[in-house]
Amino acid sequence: MLRRCLEMLAPALAAPGSVVVDATLGLGGHSEALLTSFPSARLVAVDRDPAALELAGKRLAPFGDRATLVHAVYDEIPDVLARLGIPKVQGVLFDLGVSSMQLDEAGRGFAYAQDAPLDMRMDQSTGISAAEVLNTYPAGELVRILRTYGEEKFARKIVEAVVRERQKEPFTTSARLVELIRAALPQAAKRTGGNPAKRTFQALRIEVNGELAVLERAIPAAVGALAVGGRIAVLSYHSLEDRLVKQVFAAGAASTAPPGLPVVPEQYQPRLKLLTRGAELPTAEEVAENRRAAPARLRGAERIREDPA
């Protein structure tokens, strides 16, 4: 959905001196497209993964000082912009979830289709791994994580099996976890919905990286960094992310006036205008070209008013 993201951001990035933030740099594909499509814009791109920053840096080197790459988590965008002396920006792009590089690099443990160490940290220099979560969290906490972050109906069955197995030997690799999940689920549950491990892996990844807590801070912070006329586009890949983005955008697009006022004062007027009716979905052609695009949901908004003083 890159082309649609560029179209959505275009009205805000045409003017010379505009600044756009790529909140999820990854391998730099979106950043490269932004710099190419908007030749008068400056890019600030952040990523928590040092390996991604190194690879994207090489890709974006031809753009010189138009691109500034920063090692940070995307809820730190206000601090990053403050350090760079940028008061407001004209565009922000989020492409949430795990990057293709992280999925494809076997040693990271994100993918359930190949055996690897159970790590799942986007920044491997900090935090706890998925193996540590599985081996040390109380059973009740693991059930909560699988239900909340993975929307896994059989969370309790899976966790009971995990607790039995970790007492025999701690978990270290993804293949053993996938095998355990297959054995724990009822036959009927394994016949539909793709790989039965995908919900558990999603839940562990979100927990390890604190993704929803970070996103809950990051979207309002990004909206706050937008100048009037600035635009934000967010690609999410599961319902928990999309719901959070929807709530922030809807709140910004609503009047905060007490009910019954005959005239709504300026300070109560909406500060956002929604650019999508609901969430936009990828086309069949996009999904055929890249199956990982299938769950993508795009929402956008434009900043139409400053916050009240």
Quote the tokens at residue 84. 């760079």
Say how far apart CA 285 and CA 193 lie, in whole Å.
Answer: 21
Instruction: Tell me whether residue 71 is annotated as binding.
Output: no
Please answer whether residues 94 and 235 qualify as being in contact, where contact means their C-beta atoms are separated by less than 8 angstroms.
yes
Instruction: Tell me whether residue 65 is annotated as binding.
Output: no
Instruction: Tell me whether residue 167 is annotated as binding.
Output: no
Contacts of 118 (CB under 8 A, 6+ apart): 109, 129, 130, 131, 134, 171, 172, 173, 174, 177, 204
- Got the DSSP string for 125-169? TSS--HHHHHHHS-HHHHHHHHHHHH--TTHHHHHHHHHHHHHHS
Instruction: Tell me whether residue 28 is annotated as binding.
Output: yes
Quote the tokens at residue 260. 């019954």
Instruction: Tell me whether residue 114 is annotated as binding.
Output: no
Please say whether the dihedral angle defined by the alpha carbons of residues 186, 191, 197 and 202, taken in this order, is positive or negative. negative
Provide Rg for the chain, Cα atoms. 21
Q: Residue count of the chain, please give it.
A: 309
With the CA atoms of 4, 23, 108 and 136 taken in that order, what torsion angle do they form, in degrees rounded to the nearest 10? Answer: -120
- Residue type at 3 in one-letter notation: R
Instruction: Tell me whether residue 90 is annotated as binding.
Output: no
Say how far apart CA 237 and CA 244 lie, in whole Å.
Answer: 12
Instruction: Tell me whether residue 30 is annotated as binding.
Output: yes
Which residue ranges are tagged as binding site for S-adenosyl-L-methionine?
A: 28-30, 47, 74, 95, 102
Which residue ranges are tagged as binding site?
A: 28-30, 47, 74, 95, 102
